[in-house]
Chains A and B, each alone.
Chain A
């Protein structure tokens, strides 16, 4: 009996939550969508209103064609940077977190200090450019990838370290007794078990890196190196703005993170279910 009551209750809570979520979280997106399809004049009014004319396709084409299809190149660059940096962040971050959690020693204090510095200290732009120039990585995509890795490492290590704590040590010890090498233990035993955290990290970091605006602005100059957030500059300027195209651009550059999320959202659920089954 209580089962049915439970189901009704869940439904009620669900509907309530849905209502609140609609108002709080979805309304702003509807606003973005409306703005993106309006005419330039109507968008300049900034009203939350039903568009009097739908210029979806026209605005979309306008945005995509601007500056010789710059947005397409930007998509490509941003995706390369994001994928490269996130891959390294997962591997490097997990490796450090693993050693940090498993092997207490005096070095750990130093590593913790570095993590905190990494989280707390805002990057020094000009000296960083000098370093990049000295090692020949300035204005290169792989230089940008390494910058994102350097800036994101602290967060990844912190995240991994706290979750590696939940993996029983018996597992790696068993593998070592079976004669596995340390890197084998890590890559074959530990890393797969970190899937839920890895998924979280991928989602969080890929969005942060994809949406990053200031770092590419400084470290990756050059038209051929344009990234998606920099395309917003084509439509936003201090004096004169075409808000319909700006919002269309916001809408378009939000799509890749949305795909990442939709794709990995299932993975998160799957990861959690498998965790539950294993108990």
Chain B
């Protein structure tokens, strides 16, 4: 062993991060898994086996919450990826006022979720909101965006996309900057059109950014909570409830053991979706 030259990439590089992560995240998380098997009111915990899991699966709105979670994650993640890439390409193409537009697209990321929630509740107001007043002026009777049970989830998804697309765009812009202009040069000499360039050069070479955007926005979408809570609180009734808001309501009600059990289930759901996806992404990366 002693004769081997130490790797230029030593493991102690991981150490500081590992200490913080294990102490402040992993240890409490593992402790909480135990609490998911108890009836826990924060002051005392009584072991009750799998009862919390049974109870959670009995939640009347679990199935709807699950469906909503999947719809919400796919819609927001898909839209952020596609719009983010399109905006990034547009905003690196040297259009007029490019710098200003970049800032504008990113502005919503700067505002806190509470602010966004309150603002959109007002803008989407069915009778006084600027969106419906605008629609009315062109003769359309706007819907009750956030209080129509069929529409609420999609309205919140739209707000989420509005707030998050700037981040996706930024990641894509950084990704596009990493692509060497030589590739574009070469493909232009080959006579490729802009459209062909986009599909043959941009999309494949911006893949690391795509992986990041898709993974993060999908996990974010599956875990999404803040914006839903700040706008509809899962309502009207239970119409826009997602898994995270169902869990949070258990937590709010003081059912801490039940809420932790819900967290474990949410974690498993995310793992079932994300793990194969990252495996697939990583495999493709090796191929490249």
Contact = CB atoms under 8 A, between A and B. Distances in A.
Do the two chains bind? Answer: yes
A99 B10 contact: yes
B271 A116 contact: yes
A25 B105 contact: yes
Contact of A17 (B90, B212, B223, B260): B90
B133 interface: yes
A46 B223 CA distance: 30
Given A10-B95, A48-B133, A196-B177, A123 B28 contact: yes
B2 interface: no
Nearest to B269: A120
B21 A150 contact: yes
Interface string A240-279: 0001001100100110011001100100110110011001
B23 A279 contact: no
A121 B267 contact: yes
B123 interface: yes
A229 B114 contact: yes
Chain A interface mostly helix, strand, loop or mixed? helix
Interface stretch (B59-67, B71-79, B140-148, B168-176): B168-176
B138 interface: no
Interface in A9-38: 10-11, 13-15, 17-18, 21, 24-29, 31-32, 35
A153 interface: yes
Contacts of B208: 162-163, 165-166
Name the interface size band of chain B: 35 or more
Interface of A: 10-11, 13-15, 17-18, 21, 24-29, 31-32, 35, 45-48, 88, 91-93, 95-96, 98-99, 102-103, 107, 111-112, 114, 116-124, 126-128, 130-132, 135, 146-147, 149-151, 153, 155, 157-159, 162-163, 165-166, 172, 176, 182, 185-186, 196-197, 199-200, 203-204, 207, 211, 213, 229, 232, 236, 243, 246-247, 250, 253-254, 257-258, 261-262, 265, 268-269, 271-272, 275-276, 279
Interface of B: 6-11, 13-14, 16-17, 20-21, 23-29, 31-32, 35, 42, 90, 92-115, 118-120, 122-123, 125, 128-130, 133, 162, 167, 170-171, 173-174, 176-178, 180-182, 208-209, 211-212, 215-216, 219, 223, 244, 247, 256, 260, 263, 266-267, 270-271, 274-275, 278, 285
Given A120-B267, A122-B244, A155-B216, 10 more contacts: A18-B97, A21-B105, A121-B267, A126-B42, A158-B215, A162-B208, A162-B209, A182-B13, A250-B115, A253-B112
